[in-house]
Amino acid sequence: MFSVKFNFKRRLLPLYSSLLLVLSIGSVSPGANDLHFYDGVSPADVIFGDVFFEILDPPELRYSYRIRPAKDFGAPFNESIHFANARLVPTKPLHSCSDIENFEDIVGQIALSERGECSFVYKTVMAQQAGARAVIITESVDKWDENIDHLIEMVDDKMELDVNIPAAFLLGRSGATILNTLRKLRRRYAVVNLPINMTHVPINKMNQPPWIAW
Ligand SMILES: *[C@@H]1O[C@H](CO)[C@@H](O)[C@H](O)[C@H]1NC(C)=O
Ligand SMILES: *[C@@H]1O[C@H](CO)[C@@H](O)[C@H](O)[C@H]1NC(C)=O
């Protein structure tokens, strides 16, 4: 009896230490990829300040996507921000650091830009000038290996720019898949609903993309 217990404990020890290691890594970089540590709590606790949108078309991208609103710039994602069957339009140029050429697609819609070259605030201002009503920024495709699974906290870089549309960050893995799929299908935009209310949706019913590890 005693020896059975003893062996049991010894077997569990390595498990405990690897669990502790994983937990401490998780607390250093909170992001979508550590969500599975929240198993058993309500979706509201998992979602905190994040927002979800869904892609309706093209069908290849028909999933729900989680985005993290900018921390201290831009308008809030409040009740005024409501898109149904709207366009999510990759900007040209994709980094949105100079005048956006495809403003005709973007006016009144949601711009999709990639990180890099200039600040998040600057990109948001360029999207706003092109007529976008919101902007989603994702990891730049050539940097996606390092940062693909992290939701970046976008903070103001203290430029004195007047931003009055909301901005949010999308996981690099999702952003790259959306951009690549649209390119492959020769589509100028995806059709989306934003936000979608996930408050009472169980985690396993959230229709997350298969490339997101929950
Ligand atoms: C949402 O936020 C914007 C910008 O702060 C504000 O102008 C608007 O009145 C707000 N809408 C609601 C419904 O609170
Ligand atoms: C989401 O839906 C629940 C009811 O299911 C409601 O109580 C809550 O206010 C909704 N949240 C938003 C942001 O609309």
Q: Is the pTM for the entire model greater than 0.95?
A: no
Distance 71 CA to ligand 1 centre (A): 16
In the prediction, which pLDDT does 6 show?
40
Distance 110 CA to ligand 1 centre (A): 17
What is the CB < 6 Å shell around ligand 2? 197, 199-200
Q: With 50 as the cut, is the pLDDT of residue 33 above it?
A: no
Could you tell me the CA-to-CA distances from 14 to 3, 27, 110 in Å, in that order? 18, 20, 48
Rounded distance between C-alpha atoms, residue 134 and residue 158, angstroms = 20
Q: With 90 as the cut, is the pLDDT of residue 84 above it?
A: yes
pLDDT tens figures, 100-155: 999 999 999 999 999 998 999 999 999 999 999 999 999 876 655 655 666 667 76
Structural domains of the chain, ranges and CATH numbers in brackets: 43-205 (3.50.30.30)
Rounded distance between C-alpha atoms, residue 202 and residue 188, angstroms = 33
**What is the percent of the chain where pLDDT is above 70?**
69
Residue nearest to atom 11 of ligand 2 (CA): 197
Q: Which of the four pLDDT bands, split at 50, 70 and 90, describes residue 8?
A: very low
Q: Which tokens hold the place of 90?
A: 């990759």
pLDDT tens figures, 146-188: 556 666 677 666 666 789 999 999 999 999 999 999 999 999 9
Q: Which tokens hold the place of 73?
A: 């710039």
Residue 76 Cβ contacting ligand 1 at under 6 Å: yes
